[in-house]
Amino acid sequence: MRTAVIALISGAAAGIAAAFIALAIDDGGTTTIIREAPPAEATVEPASTVQRTAEIGEPAPAEPEPPPAIATAFDPAAIFKQIGPAVVSIETQQGLVSGSGFIVDGDGHIVTNFHVVQGSNSVSVVLDDETRVSGQVLGFDRANDLAVVAIDPIGVELRPAPLGDSDALIVGDPVVAIGNPFGLERTLTTGVVSALGRLRPPLEAGGRPQRGLIQTDAAINPGNSGGPLINAAGEVIGVNASAESPIDGSVGVGFAIPSSIVQRFLPEMIAGEEILHPWLGISSVESDEPGLLIESVFADSPADAGGLLPGDRLIRANGVAIEGFEDLADLLDDQRVGAVVTVGVDRQGESVAIEITLAAWPG
């Protein structure tokens, strides 16, 4: 059996769906033996990710603060009443639900997944009261699978959903997902945070891997894409986006983009920008020896232009010791495209310092 990363768009347009649903169908018997999930992509180019609190040169952020002594009661019915009106259906073709989204402010801005609106400049948005309005795709972040859609707020009652602090999540926190699985609008499902900080393969081959994802066992199915994952306080802490499954449906292993990433890039996306992420252009392997062993250097990449070579062992970057893939990814994540990063490498025993001007991820 093979497993597939499916993007959770409902199959509104099969032609488009094929672009981001990597499906492997198990034609075996009735008992599905789930294999171990593939290990995180250790050999993949380090990705820049979003960790809002990570500062260059600082140690990794401490453990998330423990929850308040008095746990918030988990009341999905109350959460649904509060947040349900913020959830919308998004249709890229009239009448065909493509995914979900949620209103984030009183100005008519809606957060959804990039893969829900990919290829469209305008979409149809169906609001809580079944009003259908036209939405314009503003900015997007292809790598993080986020997009912002704007609707005209005049004459529409908007009930935006508050964003919560995804950095404060702990495994086991109860969560609620609201969305449109299989087009069943405003479906509520429940579960817990199964894991945090998940690394997932890129949506597009050669793209930037997704990092920092929230894993949940709340049922997340095709059509849930772009809908909110909500904590017990009724705050959106994630954007449901994908799932690990041998089928095109939930087996209890769904993934959401943390709200911290949304918060970081929301102003630029609202401003209509395409979010670009810094790219180095190497693939590396971790080993017992210090640093990251560079396996290959992409032609014409920033690393190539700067003179990095396969076999180099990357020891430091901007003065920070690099002990693993995550260290480099975290560091890059706080840089901007065009920034210059100084890396120290061990080249066959010799210390070499190289300056690299970061480019944007191709694609």
334 is catalytic: no
Q: Which is nearer to other proteins, 30 or 348 (CB)?
A: 30
Catalytic residue among 141, 145, 330, 334: 145
Rounded to a whole number of angstroms, the minimum distance from the CB of residue 176 to other proteins is 7
What one-character DSSP code corresponds to residue 166? G
* Tokens, residue 183: 């087009």
Which lies closer to other proteins via its Cβ, residue 245 or residue 283? Answer: 245
Decide if 144 contacts 166 (C-beta within 8 A).
no
User: How many angstroms separate the CA atoms of 361 and 143, rounded?
Assistant: 9
Give the span between the Cα atoms of 149 and 112, in whole angstroms. 7
Whose Cβ is closer to other proteins: residue 249's or residue 324's?
249
Give the shortest CB-229-to-other proteins separation in angstroms.
Answer: 14
287 is annotated as an active-site residue: no
Residue pair 220/6 in contact by the 8 Å Cβ criterion = no
Tell the smallest beta-carbon distance from residue 250 to other proteins (Å): 4
Supply the DSSP string of 130-167, one letter for each residue: S-EEEEEEEEEETTTTEEEEEE--TT----PPPB--GG
**Interacting residue ranges for other proteins, rule: CB under 8 A:** 10-14, 17, 21, 30, 75-81, 84, 95-97, 130, 176, 181-190, 218-219, 221-222, 247-252
Q: Which of 75, 105 has the CB closer to other proteins?
A: 75
Task: To the nearest 10°, report the CA torsion of 291, 297, 303, 309.
Answer: 70
Catalytic annotation, pick one of 100, 225, 259, 260: 225
| Inter-residue contact 329 to 48 (CB < 8 Å) | yes
User: What H or E segment, with its residue span, contains residue 333?
Assistant: helix 325-333
CB of residue 332 to other proteins, shortest distance in Å: 35
Catalytic hit among 109, 115, 141, 260: 115
Nearer to other proteins, 235 or 327 (CB): 235
- At 90, which amino acid appears? I
Q: How far is the CB of 330 from other proteins (least distance, A)?
A: 34
Reply yes or no on whether 115 is catalytic.
yes
- Identity (one letter) of the amino acid at 212? G
First CA to last CA across the chain, in angstroms?
30
Give the active site residues: 115, 145, 225
